Structure 1
Amino acid sequence: MTDPAEGPPAAGTAGARRRAVAPDKRTRQPTEVRRRLILEAVVPLVIEHGASRVGVRDIARAAGVSVGTVTYHFGGVREILSEAVSIEIDAYYRPLGERMLACPTAVEGLTTLIEGVFSAETDRHWRLWFDNWAADASLEPDSRQHRRYEEWSDRVAELIARGRDRGEFRCPDVAETTTRFNALVDGLALRRLRGAPPLSIEQARAHLRRFLTGELGLEPSPA
């Protein structure tokens, strides 16, 4: 990937340059700390500029490390982005899965699920995920990301199966319902990011509620 070092300044560049004044302090950082700095720096850059416009030098400046440190730890921007997305997926889905499964009833868990996948904070996750997916569409799926999405799908299925087994709702095929639900979430997220036509957070949630109401035989929510 071409390094767009001569392009627009990366987000947070000014602060990163101040940190870069003291390279001796940077080199004292343990390996995992340096890697984490690099991974954390790439996320806001990609969200602001897009993956295709982020280069190694941009990441180094934002992380407050040298270009050599970046290339020592990673094979390139694609590897950095892939690992950063894996971390983001885990940070996004794991707490949500814990919250929805901790609800007293599966119906309450579904509400937590719907509100969790579309909120004021989730656009960041979706933008990063889709940008990475678009840039890597011709490559093999990252095994870490694939595993995390499978784990997430398992949590959704667990919630639906729990409600079915307790008699809270009906579901002839938990796996199929889970697949359709996740596909609908992905499609709504993409439409929301494209903004054509516009889709608000509440509209996205309403689509999910209608789907689950019909799929699981739930009572419609009051208008």
Structure 2
Amino acid sequence: MSAADQGTARADGPRRRAVSPDRRTRQPTEVRRRLILEAAVPLVLEHGVSGVGLRDIARAAGVSVGTVTYHFGGIGEIIGEAVSIEIDAYYRPLGERMLSAPSAVEGLDVLVTGVFNTETDQHWRLWFESWAADAVRAPDTLQRRRYEDWSDRIAELVERGRSSGEFLCDDVAETTVRFSALVDGLALRRLRGAPPLSIDRARAHLRRFLASELGLASTP
């Protein structure tokens, strides 16, 4: 093909033009933020908080580092918000199920099976990674509030059982604190695997504690 023919082909064929910035399709801010947060979670699970950088998150989210820094102040903010989202997804439905159970005793069973099952190891790993990061930066207020809200749901269940006569409990607040501490300790023991702790054994520890703490004739 001659130079003239090539020129004619270029003239007759479709032309690609750069799209001006004001006409480009842009995702809403909340969508971009969510993409970044969702990309961060598996990276933290695989590499830990200390092993993940802004470039890693940007690459996983399919955005530029500039986009990440535009929406977030740093890696600490990303991890904090990602964990808060995960906490909501984990605890909100569990709280609804246990509080809507026909009785408080049945609610306890929902609680025990909900905090330790085949899907919760990821939750605990992410949460402990976040706690480790909090040791070197200011604690995340949003995350702390969600944890407190979860404790309130447990206290609500215990108070329901006490009011109905199903439980014997002198101090609902203290029982809630001890239960939460036991759950956290067992979760850490399970993740460390030294020595190994199965899901069934973790549940059994919780049931024995609740039976003793709440004056139950049998474990929930």
TM-score band (shorter)? 0.7 to 0.9
Q: State whether structure 2 residue 65 is matched by structure 1 residue 67.
A: yes
Give the counterpart of 1:95 among 93, 99, 105: 93
Does residue 1:31 correspond to 2:10, yes or no? Answer: no
Post-superposition offset of 1:141: 1.8
Cα shift readout 1:84-125 (whole Å, capped 9, x = no counterpart): 111111111111000000000000000000000001111101
* RMSD of Structure 2 on Structure 1 (CA): 1.7
Q: CA deviation at 1:221?
A: 3.9
How far apart are the structure 2 equivalents of 1:173 and 1:72? 47
Distance 1:27 1:36, change over 3 A: farther
Which amino acid in structure 1 is aligned with residue 202 of structure 2? Answer: A
Measure the CA separation in 2 of the matches of 1:145 and 1:75.
17
> Please, which moves more after superposition, 87-96 or 109-118?
87-96
Which of 30, 33, 52 is matched with 2:50 structurally? 52
Partner of 1:114: 112
Distance in 1 between residues matched to 2:101 and 2:169, nearest whole Å: 19
Residues 1:78 and 2:64 are matched in the alignment: no
Equivalent positions of 1:180-219 (< 5 A) are 180-219=178-217
TM-score w.r.t. structure 2 length? 0.87
Structure 2 CA distance for aligned equivalents of residues 70 and 50 of structure 1: 19
Shift of 1:27: 6.1
TM superposition shift of 1:188: 0.3
Q: How far does the alpha carbon of each residue in 1:20-42 deviate from its partner, in whole angstroms, 9 at most, with x for none? A: xxxx9x96211110000000100
Which protein has the larger Cα radius of gyration, Structure 1 or Structure 2? 2
TM-score by length of 1: 0.86
Q: Name the SS of the counterpart of 2:165 in structure 1.
A: coil
2:130 aligned partner: 132
Letter in 2 for 1:63: A
Q: Give the secondary structure class of the aligned counterpart of 2:210.
A: helix
Aligned length: 199
C-alpha distance in 2 between matches for 1:138 and 1:155:
29
Segments of 5+ residues of structure 1 without an aligned counterpart are: 1-23
Q: Residue type of the partner of 2:33? A: R
4+ runs of 1 displaced by more than 6 Å? none
**Displacement, 1:138?**
3.3
What amino acid sits opposite 1:172 in the alignment?
D
Moved more, 84-93 or 112-121: 84-93
> Sequence identity, in percent?
77
Structure 2, unpaired ranges of 5+: 1-20
Take 2:30 and 2:65, find their aligned partners in 1: how far apart are those partners?
17
SS in 2 for 1:141: coil
